[in-house]
Chain A
Amino acid sequence: EDQELERKISGLKTSMAEGERKTALEMVQAAGTDRHCVTFVLHEEDHTLGNSLRYMIMKNPEVEFCGYTTTHPSESKINLRIQTRGALPAVEPFQRGLNELMNVCQHVLDKFEASIKEYKDQKASRNESTF
């Protein structure tokens, strides 16, 4: 039945400094389903963002299914599919996953820089005390 995919391409034409990609994000929805099952196509991305984003989205209890694949090694894009319980639109956990991943990175960055600073301070004071 669902042989035809109703492509609801809602990508935005962005031109970035690196130039290449015109559409960074597409959303594909199979015909007959509603907004709680969506496949996002992320261009110019690979396992780096794919796996970490999948992990963050799976941690959301409203998400029934989340998975990603790379379409082909020659193509640099990933398909990320989200299915939610109930009537929550799939865009919502996607957005929430991105925000949470950003918060994680921010926290890691803060902790890392604090540790580096502490290590350098310790080393400096150790050098001073040997004089």
Chain B
Amino acid sequence: MAAAQAVQEMRTRVVLGEFGVRNVHTTDFPGNYSGYDDAWDQNRFEKNFRVDVVHLDENSLEFDMVGIDAAIANAFRRILLAEVPTMAVEKVLVYNNTSIVQDEILAHRLGLIPIHADPRLFEYRNQGDEEGTEIDTLQFRLQVRCTRNPHAAKDSSDPNELYVNHKVYTRHMTWVPLGNQADLFPEGTIRPVHDDILIAQLRPGQEIDLLMHCVKGIGKKVARVANPRLDTFSREVFRNEKLKKLVRLARVRDHYIFSVESTGVLPPEVLVSEAIKVLMGKCRRFLDELDAVQMD
């Protein structure tokens, strides 16, 4: 019957109208619809839920999640973007910086460089701990001095010929192992992900000499996730007067397409697993709090 069908559509579809999107919010909570049992049922959820991997390579992953609500899918997306732990440069000790890039700008740029180190192997640094130990810190040294090239042609104007070391790349960063890190991590595994990121430019006589401390933290730019491809869905059909009445565009509410692109530190499937574990960790934290409070 039409009424039953309308209810079914309201419950399960997000409708794309000509001028706006309708039926966006989840409404299937207990008591809203008579005749429907909407209470949470883990078994029913497990029966309807599925994950289909569409594409996977070392830097990008595309998969579908079907049978889950927007709130939880969005939570995963938010965590992937901002709360999966990563190792990044936090503190920069500048011994000498005579380049035209200011200390703080240089430090800011260094902090954005993705570091190839599995954050799961490190602990968080304790608050107020200045030094940093081998279990929570990675050290990198950056020491570059620019000089004039004595063999350059007399009237050359190409900086690549005239100067030596005038561009500072991430490949100039050297890892300084702390404690037993040299035994734990083989040569060449702890490095920036890309060795051709331009950090700064120098001219003869200028020098950059600094030490970087890299710690575990939650930050941005670990992965980019784009949820359902709403932006590529065409609503052109509404332009045509006759078609308008015949066509109804609707989206299945609980089907999500995830597209995850990693910066290279961790493979994208590991990022997603870690994101799910982060959400579980949050729940566990509050459950522990509740238990502790109830014991008083």
Contact = CB atoms under 8 A, between A and B. Distances in A.
A116 B267 CA distance: 12
Contact of A18 (B52, B127, B286): B127
Interface size class of B (residues with CB under 8 A): 35 or more
Given A55-B72, A58-B29, A101-B283, A108 B292 contact: no
B7 interface: no
Contacts of A115: 51-53, 63
Contact of B276 (A18, A98, A103, A108): A108
Contacts of B30: 59-61
- For A60, A107, A109, the residue with the greatest tally of chain B CB atoms inside 10 Å of its CB is A109
Given A59-B30, A98-B287, A116 B50 contact: no
Contact of A19 (B51, B72, B128): B128
Contacts of A17: 123-124, 126
Interface stretch (A29-37, A43-51, A69-77): A43-51
A28 interface: no
Smallest CB-CB A-B distances: 10 pairs = A19-B127, A59-B40, A55-B71, A61-B30, A119-B53, A52-B75, A17-B124, A115-B51, A51-B71, A25-B289
Interface of A: 10-12, 14, 17-20, 24-25, 27, 42, 45-49, 51-56, 58-61, 91, 94-95, 98-109, 111-116, 118-120, 123
Interface of B: 26, 29-31, 38-40, 42, 45-46, 49-53, 56, 63, 65, 68-69, 71-72, 74-76, 78-79, 83, 123-124, 126-128, 269, 272-273, 276-277, 279-280, 282-287, 289-290, 292-294, 296
